[in-house]
Amino acid sequence: MKRYLHENKWEDIELYLKKSTTILLPVGSVEQHGKHLPLGTDSILAQDIALDVADKTGVLVASPLWYGWAPHHMAYPGTVTLRPETLTSVVEDVINSLIYHGFEKILIINGHREANLPPLRIALTRVRNNTGAFVGIADPFYINAVAGRELSDVDPGGIGHAEELETSVMYDRHGELCTPEAAVKNIPSDHNKYLQHDPHVLTDKILTASDVAHYREATNNIGVMGDSTTSDKEKGREYQERLTNNIAEFVKYLDDLEVEIRKKDIPL
């Protein structure tokens, strides 16, 4: 059995469904990641996570979705964004197709923290209520929250975009695609105290939206928000190991979970 759905034959899938109805779906983004990381970082990381969990558990991995919702990153060339309703629709159709064939537990591996979450959660809410299937999102920031805090060496404001931990994993797994000497620190100090972007900073916050017209300025014409200079391979390896152990443990829980499918529809 191959780890990716699309690398198997239909008979392999029929056989797999006799022993498991769980499948992972990596979803990422193709968007600028500063001058030190490639555009595909979020998708590459989501796929790596899913394949590592497959190695640990034998779970099948659905063909990945490369594109996500990334409008503000359009300030830099190469970024591709879907409209949020497109992402919701694509995810709904993919999951409904999987459910039609007998999958009952679908876990999205989200490589693009925060921005992808609203459209993904709308898709999940619809699928869950229409079909009864278990649907969930494993997002590194949330499923590896403890390791994220323990391994981080950045100053307050250091968590943002193209920063420490995703950079560290990329250095460990895909060094040939990275340019460590171009890593930078960008922690803005002149913002209103309610506009702190770093989720690790415990403070009272107003939520706002990033604006493509001001995004280059906000990210110093480089594309980093936070600190990527404290990244290293070893940190990336430990972060990835703890992350994939957590998801593997949850996949084992899913294997024993009883789910009742109420309805199956072919997307039309």
Q: Which residues bind Zn ion (CB under 5 A)?
A: 41-42, 166
Q: In whole angstroms, how close is the CB of 45 to Zn ion at the nearest point? A: 7
Report the residue number, 36 or 105, with the smaller CB distance to Zn ion. 36
Cβ-based nearer residue to Zn ion, 126 or 233: 233
When the beta carbons of 24 and 46 are compared against Zn ion, the nearer one is 46
153: CB partners within 8 A, 6+ apart: 164, 230, 235
Which residue bears the tokens 């943002």? 160
DSSP string of 132-171?
Answer: --EEEEE-HHHHTHHHHHHH--PPTT--SBS-HHHHHHHH
- Minimum CB separation from Zn ion for residue 162, in Å? 6
Q: Measuring CA to CA, which residue among 98, 102, 93 is closest to residue 126?
A: 93
Cβ proximity to Zn ion, 23 vs 71, nearer residue = 71
Residue with the CB atom nearest Zn ion in the bound state: 42
The least distance separating Zn ion from the CB of residue 132, rounded to whole angstroms, comes to: 33
Can you spell out the DSSP letters for 172-223? HH-GGG--GGG--EE---SS-GGG---TTS-S--------HHHHHHHTTTTT
Angle formed by the axes of helices 164-173 and 41-57, to 10°?
A: 70
Identify the CA nearest to 224 among candidates 164, 265, 184: 184
Q: How far is the CB of 166 from Zn ion (least distance, A)?
A: 5
CA distance 249 to 217: 42
Q: Is 59 or 120 the residue whose CB approaches Zn ion more closely?
A: 120
The distance of closest approach from Cβ of residue 163 to Zn ion in the complex, given in angstroms and rounded to an integer, is 8
**Min separation Cβ 253 and Zn ion, Å:** 27
- d(CA 204, CA 218) in angstroms, rounded, equals 21
- Nearest approach in angstroms of CB 195 to Zn ion is 21
Choice between 44 and 60, CB closer to Zn ion: 44
In this structure, the number of other CB atoms found within 10 A of the CB of residue 173 comes to: 18
Choose between 5 and 37: whose C-beta lies nearer to Zn ion: 37
Instruction: Give residue 50's identity as a one-letter amino acid code.
Output: A
